[in-house]
Structure 1
Amino acid sequence: MIVGVDIGTSLTKAVVFDEDGSSIASACTPSEVHHLPGGRVEQDLDHVVATVATVVREVAATLPEPVSALALTGQGDGLWLRDEAGAAVHRAISWLDGRANSVLAEWQAAGVTTEVFRRTGAGMFPGCAGALLSYLDTSEPEVLDRAAVAGYCVDAVLQRLTGEITVDVSDASLPFLDPATRRYDDSAIEACGLTHRRGLLAEPAPAKSVFRLDAKGAALLGLPVGLPVTAGPFDLPASAIGAGVRQPGDGILTAGTTLACQVLTDDPKFDREGEPAGMFLCTPDEREYLHAMPAMVGTAGIDWVCALLGISVEEIDPLLANSEPGARGVRALPFLSVSGERAPFVDAGARAQFSGLSLETGRAEIVRALCESIAFAARHCFEAAGLSGQLYACGGGVRSPEWLRIFADVLGRPIVIPSDPGVGARGAVLTAAAALGSPFDRDRWAANSRTVEVRPEKVAGYERGYADYQASLSAARGLWRL
């Protein structure tokens, strides 16, 4: 009875799985996300912890046996500042935040982002801890002075439940960790001008670490003191584990609020002269890494176009089904995030565009152009990450059969969809089971899936569409300004 908890940006979920990897109990509750002027996006740590308590208590009440362990995963990046007791000294700054746009632009011009990338393989973006720490160090240093730890969502919740100050190696991977040594690179920290804040970075926990609920955490969740708790990996690598990614070259597409493209590798080497974007995420297996390209495009763009056109998300599939590939000449660049793009290139000034519009353009063409452009962005990311094997997919976007077919056709390969949507929680539970010495049969868990095949007759048209996308992107990058 391991309860997997996935603490997302807008939703916290708790799931318990049977021996075949099917969920037997689940609960979810929304989280508050505060969108403020200046591109600021924040969350309240107390509220997030309360959502965890809500879903854990709800699931535990339905189980036929006592809970045996708690497995945490959740959103990564951002900046969750706490004191020694785990209390927030500033509202948590989300990975969606854009307040450090100017910091990133200055670092790109000065070569700081290139220097950090060459040392750690991490491409920084406005919502990553490095840029946010630098912004606060200049603008609000008193906030950092009050903090004991500058961490992330999962370790912030862990501290409130166990009293432990630590961080999973996956979260620590961006932007200061050398993936080969799994230790912080002090020269990368120095390049960002943050050496004097080095003490805020918790040391990564050893592989297979297990923590225990303290009295406060036990009272909050209604579970016994001393219950085993694992924390991490965060949601991107947890989803890869939960979906079944196991062989080097295999990849996973997470079509969520943003578009996370990851490829498993057993080689921590990276192109140090390449464009400083993406990241190498350490996994629970010290011999494996995930080359991640987490683009800022995704279902948030679909929500935007639905609101703009006055349609519901349920209308997306019929519009796609009744339109032709190529959207009658309408093309799009999908960069709608206020903080620009972070993979497979980094540009805080990246913005969306539609072209080829006319008086004959309808809703179907606009929707299809956006959906196709997000699929082209996924291909761009996977080419940079080195996808060569089986591709898996998860996230809210996979609930659209028509959009999934577009992804398969654009990427030119079949896509495996796990039957249970809670792959982040699945990955957390699998990680916890291994740490506790009671691993599940991963082959049985991976068997519950379906495959979306490529439609050969669509591939050539999408090859032309992808070439047009790349040409439009190259032209637009010279025009973007903050």
Structure 2
Amino acid sequence: MRDVLIGIDAGTSVIKSVAFDTAGRQLAAAAVPNRYETLPGGGAEQDLARTWADTATTLRQLADKVPDLAIRTIAIAVTGQGDGTWLIDKKGEPVAKGWLWLDARAAAIVEEIRARPDDRLRFEKTGSGLAACQQGPQLAFMKRNAPDRLADAATAFHCKDWLYFKLTGERATDPSEGTFTFGDFRTRFYCDEVLEVLGVADLRHLLPPIVDGTRHSAGLSAAAAEATGLLSGTPVVLAYVDVACTALGAGLLDRERKPGCSIIGSTGMHMRLAQTPDEVLLNEARTGYTMTMPAPGVFAQMQSNMAATLNIDWILSLASGILASQGITRSNGEMIALVDEWISSSEPASLLYQPYVSEAGERGPFVDANARAGFVGISSRHGYADMVRAVFEGLAFASRDCYAAMG
């Protein structure tokens, strides 16, 4: 009896596979930490082969937890971290390591494009602000600085697209990521005018077909079946980008109440529902994202502050690092358990914290690759607990700032 659905999410921090029954109840989950490296000059890269190997590992681990998983699986869906550039050649082999959304090397190119009047045309087509995390500026940077890499490339993927390719052998991307990067959100297809503004019209051949996972699937390949322990031919769906999937699951698609929805992950995503293209509000600052949802004519409009829990990771690592230097080991869980105590022992708003700890700067509700974190108002009476509280308050203010930018 086929009664299990598998969801794969290759996030920035963790790669996970989850089994659900047909009522949507979680049966089991398996996860491995994700790994990437930061480079001088703002680079952030991830190994494609290792990402696939880690994903396959989570599926095998899931089979250990769910009896007869292979024969019970109805279908598999895969999503993952957004933005970035993952290049493969004609044979399907990686050309180089994947560039992540954390990569800031294209920052100067973003400034050039945003300074031109025709960037308004690009913004009105995509409904999305330009930032160094996106594939368009990253491809433009490679044209100038690594043309040999592009010459060897046949397809430009995002993370989930690469995993879908490894699962099925099919080269594709989804409507959400395809259109907010290179397309027109009204048509859900690529737009030549956008490619011209970005200066990558000559790289149009690298863009894979856009397929809608609500209507399209491909079979699990024999090689992927061997790697994962699942059955060859099992239907595989390329899901929308991770934030669109999370928004759907969190209840954003509520036409009556029209709730807001925030994801406080490595990055912060703050969303409102737009039921028609006319309800998408394009601001003068040309920031945010407009993502097509897996429902006809519906959009999630977003503002995204570049670093959310990255700020929390950083402030907690200060304490754990000091303890480690004295031979005292504390796990992440033990550090997180102390947060409530630190916050309760500190005064509200005694410090201000600017939550721009990512080396990629900020993309919402303003774009500045040079933005950096900082505390304002420190005096001798302040301690570590005040700093912890200020980091959480800073994230709250950043969230409010993003919602204000969407009206």
Structure 2 length-normalised TM? 0.90
1:141 aligns with 2:147: yes
1:369 aligns with 2:399: no
Q: 2:401 aligns with which of 367, 372, 380?
A: 380
1:234 aligns with 2:241: yes
Contact 1:208–1:284 under 8 Å retained in 2: no
Deviation at 1:234, TM superposition (A): 1.5
1:89 aligns with 2:95: yes
1:157 aligns with 2:178: no
Distance 1:214 1:307 in 2: 42
Contact 1:77–1:174 under 8 Å retained in 2: no
Amino acid at match of 2:373: A
Distance 1:210 1:31 in 2: 26
Contact 1:256–1:298 under 8 Å retained in 2: yes
Deviation at 1:176, TM superposition (A): 1.5
Distance 2:21 2:180 in 1: 33
Deviation at 1:57, TM superposition (A): 1.1
Deviation at 1:343, TM superposition (A): 1.0
1:214 aligns with 2:221: yes
Distance 1:133 1:214 in 2: 30
Deviation at 1:353, TM superposition (A): 2.1
Distance 1:214 1:367 in 2: 48
Contact 1:301–1:336 under 8 Å retained in 2: yes
The equivalent residue for 1:444 is none
CA deviations 1:25-55 (Å, max 9, x no partner) are 1111112111111111000110010111111
The equivalent residue for 1:253 is 262
CA deviations 1:229-252 (Å, max 9, x no partner) are 011112101111222222142222
Distance 1:18 1:320 in 2: 39
Q: 1:53 aligns with which of 53, 56, 61?
A: 56
Deviation at 1:17, TM superposition (A): 2.0
1:287 aligns with 2:297: yes
Question: What aligned pairs does 1:167-246 form with structure 2 within 5 A after superposition?
Answer: 167-206=173-212, 207-246=214-253
Amino acid at match of 1:255: I
The equivalent residue for 1:268 is 277
Contact 1:170–1:232 under 8 Å retained in 2: no
The equivalent residue for 1:28 is 31
Contact 2:43–2:105 under 8 Å retained in 1: yes
Contact 2:283–2:405 under 8 Å retained in 1: no
Distance 2:293 2:31 in 1: 26
Contact 1:10–1:33 under 8 Å retained in 2: no
Contact 1:259–1:296 under 8 Å retained in 2: yes
Secondary structure of the 1:238 match is helix
Secondary structure of the 2:304 match is strand
- RMSD, matched Cα: 1.7
Distance 1:84 1:293 in 2: 36
Distance 1:335 1:225 in 2: 45
Q: 1:109 aligns with which of 99, 103, 115?
A: 115
Contact 1:128–1:174 under 8 Å retained in 2: no
Amino acid at match of 1:296: M
Deviation at 1:199, TM superposition (A): 1.1
Distance 1:210 1:141, change over 3 A: same
Contact 1:118–1:273 under 8 Å retained in 2: no
Distance 2:58 2:222 in 1: 19
Secondary structure of the 2:115 match is helix
Q: Percent identity?
A: 35
Deviation at 1:384, TM superposition (A): 2.4
1:308 aligns with 2:318: yes
1:296 aligns with 2:306: yes
Amino acid at match of 1:321: S
Q: State which drifts further: 90-99 or 279-288.
A: 279-288
Distance 1:246 1:105 in 2: 34
Contact 1:18–1:24 under 8 Å retained in 2: yes
Distance 2:249 2:262 in 1: 13
CA deviations 1:201-227 (Å, max 9, x no partner) are 112103421111112121111222111
Structure 1 length-normalised TM? 0.77
Runs ≥4 residues deviating over 4 A:
none
Q: State which drifts further: 192-201 or 99-108.
A: 99-108
Amino acid at match of 1:339: A
1:338 aligns with 2:359: yes
The equivalent residue for 1:43 is 46
Distance 2:261 2:5 in 1: 24
CA deviations 1:177-202 (Å, max 9, x no partner) are 11111111211110111111111111
Amino acid at match of 1:191: V
CA deviations 1:375-400 (Å, max 9, x no partner) are 011011122235xxxxxxxxxxxxxx
Distance 1:193 1:356 in 2: 44
Secondary structure of the 2:343 match is helix
Structure 1: gaps of 5 or more residues: 387-482
Contact 1:266–1:289 under 8 Å retained in 2: yes
Secondary structure of the 1:125 match is coil
Higher relative contact order (CA 8 A, sep 6+): 1
Structure 2: gaps of 5 or more residues: 324-334
Question: What aligned pairs does 1:408-423 form with structure 2 within 5 A after superposition?
Answer: none
Deviation at 1:128, TM superposition (A): 0.5
Distance 2:384 2:25 in 1: 38
Distance 1:227 1:73 in 2: 17
Distance 2:77 2:163 in 1: 12
Amino acid at match of 2:76: L
The equivalent residue for 1:321 is 344
Contact 1:303–1:313 under 8 Å retained in 2: no
Secondary structure of the 1:367 match is helix
Distance 1:4 1:272, change over 3 A: closer
